[in-house]
Amino acid sequence: MEYQNLLPRFLKYVQVNSRSDEYSDRFPSTEKVENFQKKVIMPDLEDLGLRDVHYNQQSGCVIAEIPATVDYDVPVMGFLAHCDTADFNAENIRPQVHENYDGKSKIQLGDSEFFLNPAVFPNLQNYQGQTIITASGDTLLGGDDKCGVAELVTLAEYLLAHPEIKHGKIRLAFTPDEEIGTGAEHFDVAEFGADFAFTVDGEAPGKLDWGTFSAAQFSLEIQGVNVHPAVAKGQMINAIQVGIDFQNQLPGAEVPEKTDGKAGFFHLTNFTGTVDHARLDYIIRDFEREGLEERKNLVKAIVAQMNEQFGSDRIKLQMSDQYYNMADELAKHMEIVDLAREAYKKQGLEINEDPVRGGTDGSQLTYMGLPCPNLFAGEENMHGRYEYTVLESMYKAVDVMVTMAELNAAK
């Protein structure tokens, strides 16, 4: 088997807790992320004999280089995968390997009460005879994006072992804090030294992402007036109720659970508070920049109207953009997308280019001068206990990257 170390490598990686923390004031956001990068990934890369293995403190990235096997100029291609996992329990992850899945049975997650049911998760039916990897029911798996991390290391191992494969210089980056949307903003494009790159952080084989949401986030800090309820009339301002009143003025149908396709949304991600003080955190998503601005303006208008009714700035709004639809910028670099398309076709894959209802590090990197679509990594049902990946999907991801390296050197 060409990639015999991929499975044990992946199982080793997912058992390391590298969860990020959106409320942290350090970078990378947790010591766990940084330790995984420095104490696990870097030694593995060094053991393979890669060039220029180092940790870039500014970008919080582990960087490495696969040397070229040709003596002529080839555009430098990069591949990136993020090392952090999402905000679900990541302590004591116990991966479960289910070989030769029959494509129809429920898969019990460890000895828990939870099952992967193909009636609920129909993609499972596509993997008859293949190896499914899950967690044990009380944690996420961490395949998002340790699938990509393991695949990049395996790509390096394979190309170093096969110098007869013609390819140019390939740069690798193992990044932090993608799940909280702050990792890419620190990325050092010049130091990375690639002409273009691909994040390896997508779903099932064939998925090719070069269109994403445009995204913003905002928070509301609401100052109430707390007095005894016996004398509250005309005096109490319940901050919790103010938050509810704000939420009820947003379009009720424009939420994640009621939208799909190219429909955007407002998403309340956190609501905490007392009568005296409340905080609400939201994300806004829209595929069009104009649509994103309209949604932001609606929020600002509601806040302004409510504060006018209070006669003071009782609601404090903080809002910022996160990333933009990379399709708008990648339209200038479609030869990169075409490279991936050609590799997918050579690997016999049916290409799915539906815009992703989310974002990747590539969304920011593309606007920072590093064109960066997203390749599939084989991760499915991300961010929770029902997450799984398919070993054969991971093999295919490495196959695609090897083919892309060859195609890039042949052009």
- Residues 161 and 30 both lie in one domain: yes
- Residues 53 and 158 both lie in one domain: yes
Domain end position, chosen among 271, 297, 323: 323
299 occurs within a structural domain? yes
Q: What is the pLDDT of residues 267-277, one digit of tens each?
A: 999 999 999 99
Catalytic residue among 44, 65, 84, 387: 84
Catalytic residue among 178, 201, 209, 286: 178
How do the residues of the chain divide into helix, strand and coil, expressed in percent and rounded to 5? Answer: 35, 25, 40
Side by side, the strands of the sheet bearing 265-273 are 265-273, 277-286, 214-223, 315-323
Confidence of residue 298 (pLDDT cuts 50, 70, 90): very high
- What pLDDT score does 166 carry? 97
3-state secondary structure of 211: coil
- What pLDDT score does 358 carry? 81
Tell me how far apart the alpha carbons of residues 409 and 411 are, in angstroms, rounded to a whole number: 6
- Residues 35 and 162 both lie in one domain: yes
230 occurs within a structural domain? yes
For this structure, is 245 an active site residue? no
Tell me how far apart the alpha carbons of residues 14 and 18 are, in angstroms, rounded to a whole number: 9
- Domain containing 26 — which CATH number? 3.40.630.10
Q: What is the pLDDT of residues 172-218, one digit of tens each?
A: 999 999 998 889 999 999 999 999 999 999 999 999 999 999 999 99
- What pLDDT score does 356 carry? 86
Give the residue among 28, 59, 61, 66 at the shortest CA–CA distance from 45.
Answer: 66
94 occurs within a structural domain? yes
Q: Give the Å distances, CA to CA, from 230 to 133, 195, 196, 227, 275.
A: 58, 68, 66, 8, 14
- How far is C-alpha 389 from the geometric centre of its chain's CA atoms? 15
Q: Give the Å distances, CA to CA, from 310 to 299, 313, 368, 396.
A: 17, 8, 42, 59
- Residue 340 is given by DSSP the state H
- Residues 284 and 315 both lie in one domain: yes
Amino acid (1-letter code) at residue 18? S
Residue 132 has pLDDT above 80, yes or no: yes
Residue 1 has pLDDT above 60, yes or no: no
Tell me how far apart the alpha carbons of residues 11 and 38 are, in angstroms, rounded to a whole number: 18
- What pLDDT score does 123 carry? 95
Cβ atoms of 286 and 264 within 8 Å: the answer is yes
User: How many distinct structural domains can be found in the chain?
Assistant: 2
- Across residues 324-340, what is the average pLDDT? 94
- Across residues 389-403, what is the average pLDDT? 98
166-186 as b/e, with b when 16 or more CB fall inside 10 Å?
ebbbbbbbbbbbbbbbbbbeb
- Residues 272 and 364 both lie in one domain: no
- Exposure of 47 by Cβ count < 10 A (0-12 exposed, 13-18 middle, 19+ buried)? exposed
Cβ atoms of 280 and 271 within 8 Å: the answer is yes
260 occurs within a structural domain? yes
- Across residues 327-347, what is the average pLDDT? 96
98 is in which domain, residue-wise? 6-211+325-410
First CA to last CA distance, the chain: 29
Segment holding 66, helix H or strand E:
strand 61-66
Domain end position, chosen among 296, 323, 350: 323
Q: What is the pLDDT of residues 13-47, one digit of tens each?
A: 999 999 999 889 999 999 999 999 999 999 999 99
- Residues 102 and 47 both lie in one domain: yes
Tell me how far apart the alpha carbons of residues 395 and 6 are, in angstroms, rounded to a whole number: 8
Which tokens belong to 240? 């919790």
- What pLDDT score does 315 carry? 98
- Residues 207 and 219 both lie in one domain: no
Q: What is the pLDDT of residues 228-259, one digit of tens each?
A: 999 999 999 999 999 999 999 999 999 999 99
Widest pairwise Cα distance in the chain: 84
Lowest mean pLDDT among 122-126, 312-316, 360-364: 360-364
- Residues 376 and 247 both lie in one domain: no
- What pLDDT score does 84 carry? 96
Domain end position, chosen among 306, 323, 340: 323
- Residues 302 and 404 both lie in one domain: no
- Across residues 116-132, what is the average pLDDT? 96
- Residues 59 and 198 both lie in one domain: yes
- Across residues 143-164, what is the average pLDDT? 97
Tell me how far apart the alpha carbons of residues 77 and 58 are, in angstroms, rounded to a whole number: 21
- Domain containing 283 — which CATH number? 3.30.70.360
- Residues 338 and 236 both lie in one domain: no
For this structure, is 34 an active site residue? no
Q: What is the pLDDT of residues 357-387, one digit of tens each?
A: 887 889 899 999 999 999 999 999 999 999 9
308 occurs within a structural domain? yes
159 occurs within a structural domain? yes
279 occurs within a structural domain? yes
1 occurs within a structural domain? no
- What pLDDT score does 359 carry? 78
Give the residue among 377, 370, 376, 396 at the shortest CA–CA distance from 76.
Answer: 370
- Residues 349 and 285 both lie in one domain: no
Confidence of residue 287 (pLDDT cuts 50, 70, 90): very high
